[in-house]
Structure 1
Amino acid sequence: MKSLIKSTLRMLFMLLALPCWLGFTLQSALMGKDQATTSWSQLLSLLPGLLGVYYRAAFYRLIFRETSQNTVIGFGTLFSQHRTHISSGVYIGPQCNIGMCRIQPNCLLGSGVHIMSGKGQHNFSDPDTPLKDQGGQFTQVVVGEDTWIGNGALVMANIGKKCVVAAGSVVISEVPDYAIVGGNPAKVLGSRKASDS
């Protein structure tokens, strides 16, 4: 019965999200999909409670490719890039900032997690050119399935499956599967795999 109620609510919220999807589509045609994603994300991040959770899940299901409606996206969470994928069973806590990424199934992101679009977003090699004019390169960051990223972590590189990233960590290098990492920069502290002893 509970799953039937949830399914019905998801269908209802898909219908309710259609006007915002239409607005997003029009803005995308005028200003580009990334600008539209940022604008609508800011607006919808302010919807409180369960209403906000269901509405955001429906809206992002409509605008992002390969995105599941079976997600929880917390209050105040912002998305800045249209090339984002959110798989089924993902929890994104409040006040997160998500760039271009692919979050695989059953991941947990604590509050205030930032996933940037790679670590090359800003060039700074020419001291005679203002930083804002030096450009950069955006790359899609992958967060492997069943990974937990603790509160306030900054992620700029791929994370393998079934990992744990300690709160406040700064991930600048790829994290292997099953790793437990922490620190700034994040280093491997252990493994979630049982030892072969």
Structure 2
Amino acid sequence: MIHKFWLMLFYGIANHLPDSYTMFLGRLSNKLRIIICKHIFKECGKVTTINRNIYFGNGKNVEIGDYSGIGSNCVLPNDIKIGKYVMMGPELYCLSYSHIIDNPDIPMCQQGGVRCSYSGICIGDDVWIGGKVIITKGRHIGNHSILGAGAVVTKDVPDYAVVGGNPAKILKMRK
């Protein structure tokens, strides 16, 4: 019951307040969202930023480490693990849903969909995720990596990799 109260407070009010970088009320709005998320998430470290218009389901299994931030307009699965010092740009979209496509005689839209019981998305420490990135289910993003803006991540990303493109490919290694 208390969990539902915090969810209603977040989605009903706090999620619509100004972004953290907005001159008036930005810092206060950010602090309020962080306080509320500490009551919702499974683990919530010393988070720096939780911007507006984000979605994380019921958030019960979301884990976020110290000094990490969630950009505005992000869609995260209920069970994502976000490490420490993660910078997340706006409009990150993490997939945890898929359509059934087994029978070619039935239109795909009529075969239904499958919500994954576990998205398996894990973002390591010291990761920079650019704007409008898509991460497919089951991906592991290695420590110290960079995901370029607009990347579509369909494979695991190793530590220290800089990736970009659709599908995302390693552009270079940082180390």
Q: Shorter-chain-normalised TM-score: which range?
A: 0.7 to 0.9
Matched, 1:188 2:170: yes
The gaps in structure 2 that reach 5 residues or longer are 19-25
**RMSD of Structure 2 on Structure 1 (CA):** 2.3
Aligned residues: 160
Assess, with a 3 A threshold, how the Cα gap between structure 1 residues 149 and 63 changes in structure 2: closer, same or farther.
same
Farther off after superposition, 163-172 or 61-70: 61-70
Paired with 1:158 and 1:168, the residues of 2 have a C-alpha distance of 18
| SS of residue paired to 2:170 | strand
For 1:18-44, what per-residue CA distance to the aligned partner results, in whole angstroms no more than 9, with x for missing partners?
Answer: xxx83615xxxxxxxxxx85x655323
- Larger helix share, 1 or 2: 1
In structure 2, the partner of 1:158 is: 140
| SS of residue paired to 1:56 | helix
TM alignment of 1:90-169, pairs within 5 A: 90-99=68-77, 100-117=79-96, 121-127=98-104, 128=106, 130-131=109-110, 133-137=112-116, 138-156=118-136, 157-169=139-151
**TM-score normalised by structure 2 residue count:** 0.81
Dislocated runs of 4+, deviation >4 Å: none
Residue 79 (structure 1) aligned to one of 39, 56, 64: 56
Farther off after superposition, 133-142 or 178-187: 133-142
| SS of residue paired to 1:57 | helix
- Larger strand share, 1 or 2: 2
**TM-score normalised by structure 1 residue count:** 0.72
Assess, with a 3 A threshold, how the Cα gap between structure 1 residues 112 and 124 changes in structure 2: closer, same or farther.
same
Letter in 1 for 2:45: S
